[in-house]
Amino acid sequence: MSFFQCYLSLFIAFFSVLGDGLANGQWHTRAGHKKTVPYSLTITVDQSGHGNFQKIQYAINSIPSYNMHWVLIRVKAGIYREKIVIPRDKPYIFLKGEGKSRTQVVWGDHDNLAQSPTFASSADNIVVKAIGFTNSYNHPVNKNPRAPAVAAMVSGDMTKFFRCGFYGLQDTLWDHQGRHYYKHCTIEGAVDFIFGGGQSLFERRIAFAHKEVEVLKDGMTLTGIAGISDPCRPGVTDAVKDLQNAGVNVKMITDDIFTAKAIATECGILTPSSGEVIEDVKFRNYTPEERMKKVDEICVMASTSPSDKLLMVQCLKRNGLVVALAGNGTNNTLVMKEADIGVFMGIQGTEVTDESCDIVILDGNFASIPKVFKWGRCLYSSIQKFIQYQLTTSFACLIANFVGLFLIPSAHTNSSTVVVGTVDCRNSGLSSICHREARKRSHEKATGVQDRTSHHQHHAQEHLASNPLSCSSPLDNSNR
């Protein structure tokens, strides 16, 4: 084998391994933190017939087996009465609904654990967002005998759920095997509503359990109501007030709309008299003219993707505003580049995020942003004052030079010397003063000293001629 063939083989092997790593190792970056690379295919499911398919399972079946590129399946709002099965040979699927209460999949199977799930996924690298899954067999309305009825069964590796809902009564979520991630998910059930041997992480989940009784007796007293609070960090409310007093319009772009409303109201971004709360679907469906009119009135936008953030930043910039975006995720990379100022919160950023942002706030505290504006405006004001000073003094020197050159021809040499000396002293300090004095002495030696010496010699000759008895000259007396 020649050297060229060996080098080409190593080159192909290297990029094969690199491509496999991008396809498998970076599933968290590609799918988990929203879309950072384009999808190879986008399929729309709509019950009204305006999409590619009317059922979700038909869309899944249309994907080629052993697909190695991400496929996005957009599921429009509605109640889909079907069973969804993702087989092992259908990886890299992103199911995206329009909210777990608006996009629901309902089925009522109960034969056994393996057959009963409304949603069953055996493939690796699956992402599901904003969809609710319900097994309706044990619903009291159906009056069926209680039996295991699974809402979702997950057995593939590297599967993620964002803002999804799992509703049932017995054996609701079967976390069978593999590594799974659940964020902002609602899980409801009574008996073993989460079970299985999966290695899963539940972040900010909400789990409900209930028990049915035959008859609700009279005279029962409400014991209490429990709620989950996600308070603002200390100093955020004051920071928002400081920014608003400084003329900064603060907007919140986040995930869940109900959490966004509560936090925005608490910290002062959303008030009853002003501001509008909107979801990404509504904002995306606006016409360009409507979007440009309403973008200034929006205070909170929820359920957003990176493309929605980018669209809002572009609209604000077209309205002539200076946009600063604060974020802490790699999904904000493109939006930070588009914004006039990218502010990264925290020190956990990747190299890509550090390159795309302009300012890094190390403590990750929103209360530090007013300090950034304070010092930034102070620096901007100082630059303005310095430029004003430079222009004023330079213009005055130009006027003096012009007057000396054209209006007072006899003072051409002296005026030029004074102007140059003034500019040098102002810009260079003590060294320029010494330089000016040296030039002045050399100028005097070359011109003025010779003239005074010849004048004194001529005067001394006249004095000796009129007083021959004098033994000294005025020049000697002056020297003494």
Q: What is the mean pLDDT of residues 330-340?
A: 81
Give the per-residue pLDDT at 153.
92
Comparing C-alpha atoms, which of 68, 75, 19, 34 is closest to residue 52? 75
Give per-residue pLDDT as tens, 457-480: 555 555 545 554 444 434 344 443
The Cβ of residue 270 has, within 10 Å, a number of other Cβ atoms equal to: 21
Give the per-residue pLDDT at 24.
37
Comparing C-alpha atoms, which of 355, 311, 301 is closest to residue 333? 355
Q: What is the mean pLDDT of residues 2-7?
A: 47
* DSSP string covering 187-229: EEESBS-EESS-EEEEES-EEEE----S---TT----------
Q: Which residue has the higher pLDDT, 442 or 199?
A: 199
Query: Where are the chain's structural domains?
Result: 25-209, 236-367, 375-448
Confidence of residue 402 (pLDDT cuts 50, 70, 90): confident
Contact 382, 363 (CB under 8 A): no
Locate tokens 């630059």: which residue? 383
pLDDT greater than 70 at residue 17: no
Give the burial class of 229: count Cβ atoms within 10 A of its Cβ; 0-12 exposed, 13-18 middle, 19 or more buried.
exposed
Confidence of residue 382 (pLDDT cuts 50, 70, 90): very high
Give the per-residue pLDDT at 206.
59
DSSP state of 177: S
Comparing C-alpha atoms, which of 154, 144, 143 is closest to residue 120? 154
Strand order in the sheet with 359-361: 324-327, 341-345, 359-361
Q: What is the mean pLDDT of residues 389-396?
A: 90
Give the per-residue pLDDT at 204.
65
Give the per-residue pLDDT at 115.
79
Give per-residue pLDDT as tens, 197-253: 888 888 765 565 555 554 445 555 556 666 666 677 788 888 888 988 888 889 888
Q: What is the mean pLDDT of residues 159-186?
A: 88
CA 412 – CA 218 distance, rounded (Å): 110
CATH superfamily for 25-209 is: Single-stranded right-handed beta-helix, Pectin lyase-like (2.160.20.10)
Give per-residue pLDDT as tens, 348-360: 555 666 677 888 8
Give the per-residue pLDDT at 284.
85
DSSP state of 145: P
pTM above 0.85, yes or no: no
Catalytic residue among 89, 192, 363, 476: 192
Give the per-residue pLDDT at 30.
39
* The domain made up of 236-367 is a member of CATH 2.10.10.100: no
- Decide if 171 is catalytic: no
Run of H or E residues at 345: strand 341-345
pLDDT cut 90: percent of the chain above it: 21
pLDDT greater than 60 at residue 334: yes
Give per-residue pLDDT as tens, 58-109: 999 999 999 888 999 999 999 999 999 999 999 999 999 999 889 999 988 8
Report helix, strand and coil shares of the chain as percent, to nearest 5.
Answer: 40, 20, 40
